[in-house]
């Protein structure tokens, strides 16, 4: 079922959902099930599965020269989605990127998803590959998530890249896109970022999931801004509980979000990461409860491959 239908059916009740990462290459699918099993009691209508593009690594040869290798450390997004739908009978939402995909690759990827009965996709641009500073699209690829949304909508209309195809089956993907309450790191301003977010909606995106945030007032201000710009689709807050002291530096650096001083102070006081996890869970419970009071349609948790803290939060909130 489509995310927008899940929201409509919930009739104002806030739903629980979460996002998982494919395991590192070499692990089996049981590690995914071990991550999902403890969270199923909270009735998620869907589970998101992230997509991880290729990385370049340089290996030194015997003669001292470097050989460039392309590696994909976390393959399996589509297979995991199929396995989730099959095992748990809930919708699985694959993330799909512009990066690393030509438009032809994108079309073929979408055809696979459609054949598997997948009804939703999260359309993203993706980041630059790790060894590069700026995002570079494929020569025949989409440059921005907005272009990817347009391509998906074209397929929903039965318009394939090869306009000589006959019997063009229409897909019917419901499309999610990313929103950034504290603006995307490359955007010159929040105004400009919201302008392009609106373009993604105009191009056919059906809902927004936000980047993680730790200060609800930033989310509320973002929603207000989006609404005043005429964005009417559901906006789903993304939440992540802090779990280690190191994340005090990693999260702002990696995700370009601020941490509130009160949270920082509490974490600095902790003697070990067990205590940090408790602070992170408590903070996230409070965020969740306040967001529910404001009638958000869904609370979407970034599990990052660990579900015990998400379970502790969901047990208090749902
Ligand atoms: P876009 O919407 O294309 O925006 C990128 C930048 O370009 C922004 O600064 C925007 O303001 C600007 N912009 C947009 N359109 C235009 C235009 N037409 N002209 C000029 N400027 C424009 N990454 C992964 O690799 N895998 C994942 O599974 C994944 N999942 C994510 C899930 C969520 C909920 C979020 C919030 C992020 C996720 N990311 C993931 C990270 C995401 O790929 C990066 O944040 C990426 O840098 C931007 O992606 P986007 O879709 O927001 O890009």
Give 220-273 pLDDT, tens digit per residue: 999 999 999 999 999 999 999 999 999 999 999 999 999 999 999 999 999 999
The CB of 209 under 6 Å from ligand 1? The reply is yes
Q: Which residues contact 95 (CB under 8 A, 6 or more apart)?
A: 48, 49, 50, 51, 77, 121, 122, 124
- Name the residue among 15, 2, 74, 4 with its Cα closest to residue 292: 15
Name 188's Cβ contacts closer than 8 Å, sequence gap at least 6. Answer: none
Task: Return the ligand 1 atom nearest residue 135 CA.
Answer: 47
- Tell me the backbone φ, ψ of residue 131, rounded to 5 degrees: -85, 0
List the structure tokens of 233: 């689709």
Q: Give the pair of three-digit tokens for residue 223.
A: 């929603």
Residue 286's SS3 state is helix
Phi, psi dihedral angles at 285 (to 5 degrees): -60, -45
Is pLDDT above 90 for 166?
A: no
Is the CB of 203 within 6 Å of ligand 1? no
Q: Which atom of ligand 1 is nearest to the CA of 148?
A: 3
Average pLDDT of the residues in 280-305:
97
Task: Give every CB contact of residue 136 below 8 A, 6+ residues apart in sequence.
Answer: 99, 128, 129
Per the structure, the complete domain to which residue 48 belongs is given by 3-317
CA of 38 to the centre of ligand 1 (A): 30
**CATH number of the domain that residue 165 is part of:** 3.20.20.220
Least confident range of 11-15, 111-115, 133-137? 133-137
Q: Which of 216, 254, 253, 266 is nearest to 238 (CA)?
A: 216
Answer whether 22 contacts ligand 1 (Cβ < 6 A).
no
pLDDT at 306 over 90: no
Say yes or no: CB of residue 298 within 6 Å of ligand 1.
no
pLDDT of amino acid 271: 97
Best residue among 144, 198, 200, 237 to mutate for probing ligand 1's pocket (most ligand atoms within 8 Å of CB) is 144
Locate tokens 């055809």: which residue? 111
Q: How far apart are CA 30 and CA 234, in angstroms?
A: 33
Measure the CA–CA gap between 16 and 65, rounded to whole angstroms: 51
Q: How many helices (DSSP H) and strands (DSSP E) are in the chain? A: 11, 10
Determine the distance separating the centroid of ligand 1 and the alpha carbon of 227, expressed in angstroms: 20
Model confidence band, residue 56 (pLDDT cutoffs 50, 70, 90): confident
The residues that bridge with 55 in the sheet, in sequence order, are: 71
Distances (CA, A) of 242 to 118, 179, 245, 258, 318: 31, 20, 8, 13, 20
Look at 87-96, 125-134, 202-211, 308-317 and tell me which has the smallest mean pLDDT.
Answer: 125-134
| Separation of CA 125 and ligand 1 centre (Å) | 5
Number of domains in the chain: 1
Any ligand 1 atom below 6 A from CB of 231: no
- Scanning the chain, the segments in alpha helix (DSSP H) are 3-10, 30-36, 77-88, 103-115, 145-156, 190-202, 216-228, 247-255, 261-269, 273-293, 308-317
CA of 124 to the centre of ligand 1 (A): 5
Question: In angstroms, what is the C-alpha Rg of the chain?
Answer: 20
pLDDT level of residue 102 (50, 70, 90 thresholds): very high
Q: Write down the pLDDT at residue 131.
A: 81
Which residue's CA is the nearest one to ligand 1's atom 26?
A: 51
Distance from residue 201's CA to the centre of ligand 1 (Å): 14
Residue nearest to atom 13 of ligand 1 (CA): 196
Residue 22 and residue 215: Cα distance in Å, rounded?
A: 28
Pocket test for ligand 1, best of 18, 132, 178 (most atoms within 8 A of CB): 178
Query: Is the pLDDT assigned to residue 296 strictly greater than 90?
Result: yes
**For the CA of 184, the nearest atom of ligand 1:** 9
Distance from the alpha carbon of residue 59 to the mean position of ligand 1, in angstroms: 30
């Amino acid at each position: 079922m489509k995310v927008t239908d899940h929201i409509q059916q919930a009739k104002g009740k806030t739903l629980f959902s979460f996002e998982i990462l494919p395991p590192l290459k070499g692990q089996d699918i049981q590690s995914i099930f071990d991550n999902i099993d403890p969270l199923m009691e909270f009735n998620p209508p869907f589970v998101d599965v992230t997509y991880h593009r290729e990385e370049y690594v340089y290996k030194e040869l015997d003669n001292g020269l470097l050989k460039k290798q392309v590696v994909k450390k976390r393959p399996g997004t589509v297979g995991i989605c199929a396995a989730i739908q099959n095992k748990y009978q809930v919708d699985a939402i694959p993330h799909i990127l512009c990066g690393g995909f030509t438009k032809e690759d994108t079309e073929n990827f979408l055809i696979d998803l459609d054949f598997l009965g997948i009804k939703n996709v999260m359309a993203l641009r993706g980041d630059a590959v790790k060894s590069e500073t700026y995002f570079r699209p494929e020569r025949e690829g989409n440059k921005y998530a907005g272009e990817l949304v347009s391509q998906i909508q074209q397929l929903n209309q039965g318009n394939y890249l090869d306009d000589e195809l006959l019997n063009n089956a229409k897909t019917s993907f419901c499309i999610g896109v990313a929103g950034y309450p504290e603006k995307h790191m490359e955007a010159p301003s929040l105004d400009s970022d919201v302008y392009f977010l609106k373009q993604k909606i105009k191009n056919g995106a059906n809902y927004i999931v936000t980047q993680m945030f730790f200060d609800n007032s930033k989310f509320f201000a973002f929603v207000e801004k989006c609404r005043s710009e005429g964005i009417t689709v559901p906006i789903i807050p993304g939440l992540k509980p802090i779990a280690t002291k190191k994340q005090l530096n990693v999260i702002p650096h990696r995700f370009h979000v601020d941490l509130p001083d009160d949270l920082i102070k509490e974490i600095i006081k902790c003697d070990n990461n067990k205590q940090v996890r408790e602070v992170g869970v408590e903070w996230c419970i409070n965020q969740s409860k306040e967001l529910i009071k404001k009638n958000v349609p869904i609370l979407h948790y970034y599990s990052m491959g660990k579900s015990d803290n998400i379970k502790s939060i969901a047990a208090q909130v749902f």
